[in-house]
Structure 1
Amino acid sequence: MRCQTDPLTRLIHIVYRVPAGAPDRLVVRCAWSPRGEGRWQPARVEPLISETADALMPADDAAGWLRGELVEWRAAGLERTLVMNPYPEALAGGVVDIDVRIALQGDGDEALACLDAAVWSDQRDVVYLDDWSTVLQPEAVAPEARPGCWRLESASTPGAAAVVAGGRRLASDGGTALPQLTMPMALRGPHALFVCASGGVRLRLSGDLRSDRLASLRAGHEELWRWARLDGQHLVVRQSYAYTGPAASAIEYVKAVPLDDALVARLEGAVGTPDRFVAAYWEPYSYAFADDVQDMSWHLQYLDAYREADVSLVDTQLGRFGMKMVFESRVADQLLYQTQGDPIGAVAHPRTTNVGRMQQYTNTLQATLTFSRMLGLNAHANVGATNCYPGSPLQGEISKQHPEWRRGGALRYEVPEVRQFILDVYREILEGGATGLSIDFCRYPEGVDTAATATGFLRELRALADDYGQRLGRRIAILVRFPLADERLGERFDYAAWARESLVDYLCPSSIQGRFHYADMAPYAKAVAGTACVLLPQLDALAWGLPRPGPFLWRVRQLYDQGFPGVYIYQGDAMVLGRPMLRRCLRTMRSTAGVRRFWEEDERLRPQRSKGIYLSRPSRLEGYHVWERLHLWPEGVPLGEMEVDLDGERIARFDGPPYLIGSQDHSGDTALPPGEHALRVRVGDGDGWLERAFTITVAPR
């Protein structure tokens, strides 16, 4: 057994060999003691896994990690790596000087081996920001619940949820706005910052434009937030916010690890040199829904994350035709007061006035254009083709006053007055300074009755854009997202004519909801061949999209290998503004070399990682729906043969990725019948099979 300290995370990697006769399922228990004292206590451990497995890890599988217990599969005769976090108890004065013991047990607690080793690791240069009583606002923290104060907790605090026996925690219950806190720092040079925040919190450095919301995947989990020079910086802690107001928040600690030049180069080099075009959707509505918008700087903060992600085109949604707009329109009516959103947890129709406050206090279009220029971003003004949201607070006046212009919940594009209204809104956007336009037919294509109607409208939009382009001395680019040919109403969109007539500059053939993740792009490539139109295949970053980073980057690599210049990320804000890992993933997509390097690293580390099979999570609590697919991902074994049984019957077999249950088109909607089912998945592993059994729930149709 050998022990080594990872230079970036400073976690202890304990490498041990499993006996050749070990069973397929092996229980591993790890304990530690101060050197030579024999006072054994559970270690805080994790298996060696990828970021993909980490994100998909079921809570039950990780339940034992904080008490030093995990499971290895089909590890007989192999070296396995157990990752131990020494914080806080095993760090004495910044030094890890301990004995570790690993006990391997088979079925029925059969003892297979007991391995001991000594660990010494000097971590005196690592700084843990965990004493929240030292903030610069001591009056805003208290060891007990007190109005207007954050609460300081430890393992001995009655009712506290501190996740580490010797750790400390800063917490708030939500419902009441609390002041920001400043943790003083006197650090210099580049550092990597890791965060353990079991309840979620917003953090920024004092010199930052924005704060990031950080939330650990599970109790005790550290997340790599960022790396930065910390000269002159303090750490600023802010309460999370939800559609209902100030939200419950909690953070255990921030770990600052100093970086030498080699580590900085390793981190920066992972993303590669940008040579690909990545357009990413940005929907201010959705983020204002769960935030406290008070002034124009709110837009700057979010757009700054797009700058960090190095996005090529920020496709900023300003509303959908037929609804109240979320920009400073005077042609259409604005969304100024209450609105409702998509389901959040068990709440089917959450309502809030937060988005209305964004319209009351800010100009969305002006802010987007002004701050994008300042940040060096290329912003498009995106409007969804149509959704009137009849009967909801979102419904616009045009659809109320002219119900005859509607088809269901959509404005009818064959009606001349509807097209004129839409063109007038775009004219208003161009007068506001927009230099790029987008229209999204994909999510709600019902407004278009025939291909001739859609093409005729785009001719009108092109003429309008060209008129303004002549005044600016440049072409106004138009991006169109539209349904794939096999998607619902896809036949109503003659994309080849659009490219041939130079009506649009970017074609984004797209799926509706969680289907067609691996659609054949050849017909669209043929349509743009010999034209100036750029084809950007869509990937979906919503919960029903491909799991990230593994399956997501597998599709990106496939598209780049097929010669496509870039991609369009629908709901790209879920990556740009989500976990920091996702923002780094998107930045990696800007580089052919970065994507290639990701897969080279995966190939190198795959044999070392703990074996497992992981399922994508359903996008809603009630289970998998017909409009999404269940994706599978193997870990620690080659990306090769896989077999899937449902309730004892073989339903799928794969020679390699992509792994998903049911065909990607609409015929796959019935692959999983409603109800609870037994799912068995096995993956080729040398001369045998790695097998896992799952219980899944499929929502009613």
Structure 2
Amino acid sequence: MTTEMIISDMTICEPSSAMSRNQTDDKWYMVDYETDDGMEGTMIYADTRCEVPQIKMPVDLDGWYKIYVGINYTRVPGDGPKAGIRIKLSEDKDFTVFGPEPIFRHAAGHYPNKMGTEKVMWNSVYEVYWKSAQISQDSLLIAPNRNSRSDQWGVSNISWVRFVEMSDDEIHNHKIDFPTESTKCLAAEYCQGDVTGATNGNDMFHPTDDGYITEKIEPFRDTDFNLLLWECIRGDMCAFNSKIGRVSENGSVWNPEWIDPLEVAVDYAHDCGMEIYVSMRMVGSGYPFKLSPIQQNNYYYDNREYTLKDETGRRSSVLSVAYPNIREHWVELLREAVGYGADGVHLCFNRSAPFVLYEEPVRDTFVQQYGEDPVDLDYEDERWLRHRSGFVTEFLRDIRKMLDQESTTLGKRLGLAVTFYHKPYPLYNAMDLKSWIDENLVDYLIPHWVHIAQDDPAAIVSQFTALTENTDVKLLPDIYPRTPPGEKYAEAAKLMYDAGADGFAFWSAEMRTTRASEWAVVKRLGHKDELNRYSKEAPKFWRSVNLKELDGVITRYSHNDG
């Protein structure tokens, strides 16, 4: 008979001095609760803007257990739930970060919102499966979520932890789920907008603690992920101590108190058993031209004569790789980042594309070759598409040459991965995949995006397998949306493997790792033979439990939206 233990009374955590029945900035706030199904306990909250200490929960168990965590997301300013909790077993190398799991953006309308309406959300505890582990008189360390900027604060909570003893079959399956060389075929495309500042105008953030970076990478340890595509160049804004790009709001001024995020990321990714590629978004400026921080792109404004141009010669917000000096600028930024000990380069050609239009070098050379002005042709004239794509291919040749040079210095071959729009088709955006493959320029092709709820995933993959089969190039479809239920990930993966996918990539991986119930499936998607099992297990990784009473008031007739 399966046994379980639920720790619902957080007052057992130590030190007791770190908790209070009063709302105090530097302590966990203890709140009694009762659920509709009769469970009683004391949960704790912490304001992430405050310096609230870590606490330790003793766990008096011995054996193999599945671990579930219950979290209440209370209301804070802004849209939707925020924060969550950070926890780790005492032998874990770093914390696991938990966050809310609402359905949003490209998933809206395709999947039910499992967190429910606001009224339901604030009055519920959401229990998620964390992991399976062998425990021996262990302890659980608990900490509030980190805050990178004031507009991202929230209230951390832990309501209970449930330990369910594992059967022999479950232990056997858990051991099967450990990664092997053949299952490590997943790639994480990791956005660092919280450090560089996002394109909506957020300021930069400069961490001073390695843990801010290592906690981002820890979720990939002992998983099927072998490749971390780590964004560190966004336009001229660099998330490392660059001597070429901007590193702060003041340009090139680097504060010695800051950690170097790229240095920490390279070391920690290798410690987690992954390769790390430095990732670059070729952002110029943007509209409506906010000045902080991304759009305040000094290099772009100093070189506006080298932007894309439309048929009439009007300028774009994107720099054109038709110009050798622009290509050289991007290549030297990448060279500088690769020098940190990275294993390759990742290009985000799914953002800011196309990178070549009607600029003078492109238009003039077309006229020389064909005797026609391309502005008089249909945009999709194949001669024009292939001519434009030649400049992008030349850019990849420049990068491949740089990588080969740096390979000699670093003593290892450096790879190249490209994420590209597959709609309406790559050549439309001046991307000649066949030439890239024939010239051995790329190692990974990542078609973006494959929306598993509205597209035909197998059909999309089949478009590209004809190019990559019998080559060394790996095809990693980029699974979208960011928030499907775990069973939908597994079902789609099976279809795409059958169509010839070599593995998968995940754009905005930072949004996925904190969604624990879904991540429990995603991190194992390299196990092709276990996908049917994962589809069956996934619905059990999440449940919502309604609160009957919280902090001495009944939830049914109480309000927090007054």
Q: Is TM more than 0.5 here?
A: yes
Identity of aligned residues (%): 19
Structure 1 stretches lacking a partner, 5+ long: 8-122, 339-355, 607-701
Deviation of 1:246 after TM superposition, in Å, equals: 5.0
Task: Tell me whether 1:145 sits opposite 2:23 in the alignment.
Answer: yes
Task: Tell me whether 1:226 sits opposite 2:155 in the alignment.
Answer: no
2:366 corresponds in structure 1 to none
Change (3 A) 1:435 1:358: farther
CA root-mean-square deviation: 3.4
1:231-255 deviation line (CA, Å, top 9, x unaligned) = 2521122112443265212222112
- TM-score, reference length from structure 2: 0.72
1:384-438 deviation line (CA, Å, top 9, x unaligned) = 2334344331233201322223343212211222111111112212332222111
Counterpart Cα distance in 2 of 1:470 and 1:367: 23
Deviation of 1:586 after TM superposition, in Å, equals: 1.8
Counterpart Cα distance in 2 of 1:165 and 1:261: 29
Asked whether the 8 Å contact 1:182–1:236 carries over to 2, the reply is: yes
1:640 corresponds in structure 2 to none
Change (3 A) 1:134 1:601: closer
2:95 corresponds in structure 1 to 211
Structure 1 letter corresponding to 2:57 = M
Asked whether the 8 Å contact 1:482–1:490 carries over to 2, the reply is: no
* Counterpart selection for 1:259 from 142, 162, 166: 166
1:332 corresponds in structure 2 to 245
1:549 corresponds in structure 2 to 486
* Counterpart selection for 1:202 from 78, 82, 86: 86
Structure 2 letter corresponding to 1:369 = V
Question: Quick check: which has more Rg, 1 or 2?
Answer: 1
1:581 corresponds in structure 2 to 517
Asked whether the 8 Å contact 1:190–1:230 carries over to 2, the reply is: yes
Superposed counterparts of 1:41-440, under 5 Å:
126-155=4-33, 166-199=40-73, 200-214=84-98, 217=115, 219-242=124-147, 243-244=149-150, 247-269=154-176, 275-276=182-183, 277-286=185-194, 293-320=207-234, 322-335=235-248, 361-389=258-286, 390=289, 391-394=291-294, 395-407=296-308, 408-440=316-348
Q: How many corresponding residue pairs? A: 456
Counterpart Cα distance in 2 of 1:358 and 1:509: 38
Asked whether the 8 Å contact 1:130–1:169 carries over to 2, the reply is: yes
Change (3 A) 1:597 1:507: same
Asked whether the 8 Å contact 2:345–2:415 carries over to 1, the reply is: yes
Deviation of 1:170 after TM superposition, in Å, equals: 1.3
Asked whether the 8 Å contact 1:163–1:220 carries over to 2, the reply is: no
Asked whether the 8 Å contact 2:232–2:262 carries over to 1, the reply is: yes
Counterpart Cα distance in 1 of 2:409 and 2:247: 28
Q: Secondary structure at the match of 2:187?
A: strand
Structure 2 letter corresponding to 1:196 = G
Deviation of 1:215 after TM superposition, in Å, equals: 5.3
* Counterpart selection for 2:443 from 500, 505, 512: 505
Asked whether the 8 Å contact 1:206–1:234 carries over to 2, the reply is: yes
Counterpart Cα distance in 2 of 1:368 and 1:173: 28
1:46-93 deviation line (CA, Å, top 9, x unaligned) = xxxxxxxxxxxxxxxxxxxxxxxxxxxxxxxxxxxxxxxxxxxxxxxx
Counterpart Cα distance in 2 of 1:472 and 1:214: 36
Asked whether the 8 Å contact 2:87–2:141 carries over to 1, the reply is: yes
Structure 2 stretches lacking a partner, 5+ long: 74-83, 101-114, 116-120, 309-315, 358-387, 541-562
Counterpart Cα distance in 1 of 2:255 and 2:239: 8
Asked whether the 8 Å contact 2:442–2:473 carries over to 1, the reply is: yes
- TM-score, reference length from structure 1: 0.59
Deviation of 1:489 after TM superposition, in Å, equals: 7.3
Change (3 A) 1:223 1:357: farther
Counterpart Cα distance in 1 of 2:158 and 2:399: 50
Asked whether the 8 Å contact 1:487–1:511 carries over to 2, the reply is: no
Counterpart Cα distance in 2 of 1:494 and 1:400: 29
Q: Secondary structure at the match of 1:409?
A: strand
1:486 corresponds in structure 2 to 424
Deviation of 1:454 after TM superposition, in Å, equals: 0.5
Deviation of 1:515 after TM superposition, in Å, equals: 7.2
Asked whether the 8 Å contact 2:146–2:212 carries over to 1, the reply is: no
Larger CA deviation: 454-463 vs 168-177:
168-177
Structure 1 letter corresponding to 2:166 = L
1:572-630 deviation line (CA, Å, top 9, x unaligned) = 3333x22222222123211111224335779xx99xxxxxxxxxxxxxxxxxxxxxxxx
Deviation of 1:567 after TM superposition, in Å, equals: 1.9
Structure 2 letter corresponding to 1:507 = L
Asked whether the 8 Å contact 1:541–1:571 carries over to 2, the reply is: no
Structure 1 letter corresponding to 2:18 = A
Deviation of 1:210 after TM superposition, in Å, equals: 2.3
2:547 corresponds in structure 1 to none
Asked whether the 8 Å contact 2:177–2:527 carries over to 1, the reply is: no
Asked whether the 8 Å contact 1:164–1:220 carries over to 2, the reply is: no
Structure 2 letter corresponding to 1:481 = T
Superposed counterparts of 1:34-45, under 5 Å:
none
Asked whether the 8 Å contact 1:317–1:382 carries over to 2, the reply is: yes
Q: Secondary structure at the match of 1:312?
A: strand
1:674-698 deviation line (CA, Å, top 9, x unaligned) = xxxxxxxxxxxxxxxxxxxxxxxxx
Asked whether the 8 Å contact 1:279–1:313 carries over to 2, the reply is: yes
Task: Tell me whether 1:560 sits opposite 2:497 in the alignment.
Answer: yes
